[in-house]
Amino acid sequence: MKLPVAVLVVFVLLFSQTAAAAKVKPAYDSPKLPELEDEASLWERASSHENRLRNAGTIFHDRHMEEYIESVAARMLGDSIDHLGISIDFVLVREPTLSAWAYPYGTIGLHTGLLVRMDNEAEFGAILAHEISHFLQRHTYREMLDGGKQSKVGKGLGFLASLALAKETGTFDKGVMDFTGNLWENLSTSGYSKKNEYIADEEGLQLMSRANLPIDAAIPAFLALGENSAYGAGDPRKMWSSHPRLEDRIKNLKKEIKRAKRKRDFTAAAAPDPLDYFRGIAPALIMNARLDIGERQFDRAREALSKYLMVRPDDPEAHYLIGETYRRANPQGPDFSASQAAYLEALGHDSAFAAALKEIGMAHRLQGQNAEARKAFEQYLIYAGNAPDAGIIRAYLEGLQ
């Protein structure tokens, strides 16, 4: 039977894409990267997106924390990609939602909300290993070659990474997601095909084992990804139709963990000390708590601050922020005891912590405790007499005479 020319063209295109995808080797088996011109073009466009993200004003820089994350990644990679001359880099975004993604050349994007939500290095390592696997398997390039993916615009990296730009500009710029019209879909924990997500999940367990992290920690780590709905973000179980449901991925992970233990494919590892992880990400813990307070996610903020105080117990700002979680939840009371206790704790570590003095004074004023309010306000003005709200505090003092 003679096929119409249009059908033959479609067949040739599909065959060429399938054949090309079949030749995509993992990064550690490739002599160089990028190998072909189309992959180099993908890298260039990805780099353009990363540069826009880095210039959006939402990037969180802390060299101590970056070095800690790099050390975890180094244990996973070993010398597997040294021959490529490529190093894994990280871009940390001030954003309380839980997300991570991989650029095709190895830069890993991480929301601070994800770092903070993990309870130890093993849980964080599970997500990190998953994203590193997307890079190692060159999944972005593989899926670019899949013509069926190219009609889906603005998902994966495009959606999640662009939240950072939206926070800065106040608008959601679809063009940031989609530099070529149809290409940018597949770079987040939630954007790849079912097959490639499962591959990344399973190889991620191997990378965890290489880093001497217990693979069971992958289960609570991925369960946590379902909590984004608290911020109004789309349900990660349903947002991408091509992406396997979160429950299905966890079921697959449990199966792989069980198989690995039965076959003894992985080295047993002890649970890491959570305090080591909290020390490594301490700057993100307190910074992200401020973001959560702004989002009125007070329980999450307190959880992060409690982790932070385990390793930095003398930081007055952390105690003050705990007070803020209680005050902002019920600014008019009637119970001020929890917030007051936290503010007093802050002052116990720094008697000149002016913000705590002001809030103590405000609580006394609301309760009609004028003498106590005057004392706190007067102390506040000693340390913050030139503050923008100093005039308001002086007016309050006059009214308390």
What's the rounded mean pLDDT across residues 46-57? 86
CA pair distance 397, 391, nearest whole angstrom: 10
Q: Write down the pLDDT at residue 166.
A: 55
Where is pLDDT greater, at 175 or 358?
A: 358
179 in Cβ contact with 172 (< 8 Å)? no
pLDDT tier at 154, thresholds 50, 70, 90: very low
Q: Is the dihedral of CA 358, 359, 362, 368 positive or negative?
A: negative
CA pair distance 68, 50, nearest whole angstrom: 21
| DSSP one-letter string for 362-395 | HHHHHTT-HHHHHHHHHHHHHHHTTSTTHHHHHH
Residue 222 predicted with pLDDT over 80: yes
CA pair distance 75, 71, nearest whole angstrom: 6
| E-strand stretches of 51-209 | 89-93, 100-102, 107-111
Q: What are the tens digits of pLDDT across the range 313-348?
A: 999 999 999 999 999 999 999 999 999 999 999 999
pLDDT tier at 229, thresholds 50, 70, 90: confident
Residue 309 predicted with pLDDT over 80: yes
Q: Is the dihedral of CA 126, 131, 134, 136 positive or negative?
A: negative
Q: Write down the pLDDT at residue 53.
A: 84
CATH architecture of 314-399: Alpha Horseshoe (1.25)
C-alpha separations of 145 from 21, 40, 150, 287 in Å: 6, 13, 8, 40
CA pair distance 311, 279, nearest whole angstrom: 6
pLDDT tier at 9, thresholds 50, 70, 90: very low
pLDDT tier at 249, thresholds 50, 70, 90: confident
Residue 279 predicted with pLDDT over 50: yes
Residue 131 predicted with pLDDT over 70: yes
- Do β-strands 89-93 and 107-111 pair in parallel, antiparallel, or remain unpaired? parallel
CA pair distance 55, 109, nearest whole angstrom: 14
Nearest to 359 by CA among 382, 393, 387: 393
Q: Which of 126-130, 259-263, 392-396 comes out lowest in average pLDDT? A: 259-263
Tokens 């390592």 correspond to what residue? 125
CA 88 to chain centre: 17
Where is pLDDT greater, at 271 or 185?
A: 271
Where is pLDDT greater, at 392 or 171?
A: 392
CA pair distance 330, 363, nearest whole angstrom: 11
Q: Write down the pLDDT at residue 228.
A: 80
Write down the mean pLDDT value for the chain.
Answer: 84
Burial class (CB in 10 A: 0-12, 13-18, 19+), 389: exposed
Q: Is the dihedral of CA 379, 383, 385, 388 positive or negative?
A: negative
What's the rounded mean pLDDT across residues 180-204? 65
Kindly report the pTM of this predicted structure: 0.85
Q: Write down the pLDDT at residue 191.
A: 62
What is the widest separation between alpha-carbon atoms in the chain? 100
Q: Write down the pLDDT at residue 19.
A: 44
The amino acid sitting at 153 is V
Q: Write down the pLDDT at residue 234.
A: 54
Number of H helices, E strands in the chain: 19, 3
Residue 184 predicted with pLDDT over 50: no
Cis peptide before 96 (omega within 30 of 0): no
Residue 27 predicted with pLDDT over 50: yes
Q: Write down the pLDDT at residue 120.
A: 98
Q: Describe the strand order of the beta sheet including 89-93 as a list of residue ranges.
A: 89-93, 107-111, 100-102
Q: Write down the pLDDT at residue 157.
A: 46
The amino acid sitting at 206 is Q
Q: Write down the pLDDT at residue 170.
A: 54
pLDDT tier at 92, thresholds 50, 70, 90: very high
**Helix H or strand E encompassing 253:** helix 246-263
Tokens 């379902």 correspond to what residue? 226
Q: Write down the pLDDT at residue 158.
A: 47
What's the rounded mean pLDDT across residues 127-150? 84
Q: Indicate the domain borders of the chain.
A: 26-263, 314-399
CA geometry: angle at 110 spanning 242 and 268, to 5°? Answer: 85
Q: Write down the pLDDT at residue 271.
A: 92
| DSSP one-letter string for 196-246 | HHHHHHHHHHHHHHHTT--GGGHHHHHHHGGGGGGGT---TTTS-TTSPPH
Residue 217 predicted with pLDDT over 60: yes
pLDDT tier at 43, thresholds 50, 70, 90: very high
